[in-house]
Amino acid sequence: MPSLFSTDVPNFLFFSQADLLRGLLASLGIGHVNMDDLCGFREYCKERFHITHMHSVIEEKLTENEIGGVILGSLTAGISQRPLNREEYLVEKRSNVTNKTERGRHTRNEVYSEFEKYQKWKNLRSRCDIGDVVLMLLKDSKLSQIFESAYIDEVQDFSYASLLLICTIGGAESLKWIFAGDTAQMVSL
């Protein structure tokens, strides 16, 4: 009588997000980005405070989440393969800052102004963050399906743009997907 279970073990590859991005950069020949030298918003804040002895007007963690999760990491940013511009950010629905009140619109404008400063800081140092890498990879025309199935654990640790990248290399129409986690708890990268 045949067994109900196959004795063949499928091929599995396990990647951290950083390892996946590192591998994609290497396979696409994008050598000018060193994943070990990525910067982050907190590094920018520390340096800014060291120089000016001033903190941001808006809570830094909120700004970091809005930059990583919305301006650089939203599905809209991923589809357009670039950061949201100010007008797009002000109307983006998926945000931790309301755009329905005057205070919320003011906060979003302040967050975007801080994002522009952060972008200048990164450009002056020829550095990028993980959100920049994801958008850069989404822009690459050589990007193609490389997976037949994927299991993504701790999905709340991924931006929507990162998930779009994974769907792109996974072939969204033919892939067998399993997502584990709670997208309502998404955090910035």
Q: Which pLDDT tens digit goes with each residue over 121-133?
A: 999 999 999 999 9
Strand 149-152, strand 176-179: pairing = parallel
Please enumerate, as own/partner, the contacts of 83-87 that have beta carbons within 8 Å and a separation of 24 or more.
Answer: 83/115, 83/119, 83/131, 83/135, 86/112
Q: Which pLDDT tens digit goes with each residue over 141-180?
A: 888 878 777 778 888 888 999 999 988 887 766 667 777 8
Helix axes 17-27, 160-170, angle to 10 degrees: 50
Q: Which pLDDT tens digit goes with each residue over 13-46?
A: 777 888 889 888 888 888 788 888 899 999 999 9
pTM score of the predicted model: 0.84
Measure the CA–CA gap between 1 and 19, rounded to whole angstroms: 43
Domain boundaries along the sequence of the chain? 17-185
